[in-house]
Amino acid sequence: MNNIMIENVRILDPVNGKDETGTIYIRNQRFSEPFAKDKDTIVIDGTGMTAVPGLIDLHVHLRDPGQTEKEDILTGCRAAAAGGVTQLAAMPNTVPTIDSPETVRYILEKAKNADAKVHIVGSVTKGLQGHEATDIKALREAGISALSDDGRPVLDTSILAAAMKTAASAEINIPILAHCEDPYLAGGKVNEGNISETLHVKGMPCAAEDAGTAREIALAEAYGLPIHICHVSTATSAAMIRDAKKRGVPVTAETAPHYLMLTEQELLKRDADYRMNPPLRTEKDRQAMIQALCDGTIDAIATDHAPHTPQEKADFVNAPNGSIGMETSFAASYTVLVEGGYLSEAELIRKMSCNPANILRVDGGTLNIGEPADLMLYRKENWVVDPDRLHGKSRNTPFKGLTLSARVRLTVYHGRIVFDDR
């Protein structure tokens, strides 16, 4: 494998407080001390670009095994690379569910040659049915990195509490990523309110998410065990997480770029690409997500990347929930948060790389010498999102046609150039 030198590049490493122009050296797949170039060294001119640690996406649906017409491990990681994502957490609502060592081994084998590191999220309950616990120890030994029943909540609270205790043990030591939802309140297609009434479509109240968030916080506080709250979308859930953190509850949280940039008004287009779960909310909720990121209530930005075929998304009411997001996550977040004056570039990278590494308990999030060489180069420039030019299998992006103000130009994963659009 070739050594790489990236010259004249702005180096932004929030963990080390570094923001300077210089050269990045990569040797033997790791960040290196300076070395002399030879005929086999790949030399990249980084003029006008910024180098940051590779992004880490805590929330991705790769659809593999079982629904590979939508996405598969290799195409999903190709899309990740195009978005500067070098590590991702693959959720368990595959077919079959990631509830057995055999399925874990299948994913690990297929991901060996992928363009990003796949961290496998095993299910808390068998088949995501919420009633029968999986063998967490066996799943961990097979190679999972986290636990979740994402796509639905863990219905049996006692099973979730037991899983939290097991996951936090020294032997297992992995996070639980919680999909917070009260199933008895959920089931709507869009946010409940004026828009759902205008569309004559069943709405999903904020209370469905808020009740689930309250339950998970209560467990974390009662037992003193960590929990990570997925895809926060409501002002009330953000307020509860903020309050819990002030009390010292070991809770972390993520939101998604679409909750930062879009609102339920998009649903008036009757386009199912804007339907996801949780649904797009109000402008008040959107502003609350931005504030929660700014004050540290929400720790991370993750995509909830959820590919679907055009045929599935053709029916506005009956289409499955979900939108793709890895290729646009950094650009959309930069546009809203950095261009909007809410976060600095360093603070944004903390939310998309450094903090996710800590939550997932993996290496990454820095450009330290000796660390695996995962990085992204981006340029501040305007571009329009064209679904037909994206790199995954699916096209269901809610950012289509929007002008974003930063663009990923190069991604290096473990010392290998996996995306180059200079």
Tokens of 293: 């990121």
The number of helices, as runs of H, and strands, as runs of E, in the chain is 13, 20
Q: Residues with Cβ < 8 Å from 150, sequence gap 6 or more?
A: 59, 91, 92, 93, 121, 177, 179, 230
Which helix H or strand E contains 76, and what residues bound it?
Answer: helix 73-82
Confidence of residue 55 (pLDDT cuts 50, 70, 90): very high
- Do the beta carbons of residue 360 and residue 393 sit within 8 Å? no
Domain ranges of the chain: 4-50+373-420, 54-360
Task: Return the number of other C-beta atoms located less than 10 Å from residue 141's C-beta.
Answer: 13
Query: Which pLDDT tens digit goes with each residue over 188-247?
Result: 999 999 999 999 999 999 999 999 999 999 999 999 999 999 999 999 999 999 999 999
* Sign of CA pseudo-dihedral 358, 359, 361, 363: negative
Average pLDDT, the chain: 98
Pick among 3.40.50.720, 3.40.50.300, 3.40.50.970, 3.20.20.140: CATH of 54-360: 3.20.20.140
What is the mean predicted confidence (pLDDT) over 156-168?
98
CB 230 within 8 A of CB 304: yes
CB 376 within 8 A of CB 54: yes
Right CATH for 4-50+373-420 from 2.40.50.140, 3.40.50.2300, 3.90.550.10, 2.30.40.10: 2.30.40.10
pTM: 0.98
Whether 1 has a pLDDT exceeding 90, the answer reads no
Position 206, amino acid: C
Q: What is the mean pLDDT of residues 381-391?
A: 97
* Span 344-379, pLDDT tens digits: 999 999 999 999 999 999 999 999 999 999 999 999
Please list the active-site residues.
Answer: 304
**24, 5 Cβ separation under 8 angstroms:** yes
Find the helix packing angle between 157-167 and 206-223, rounded to 10°: 50
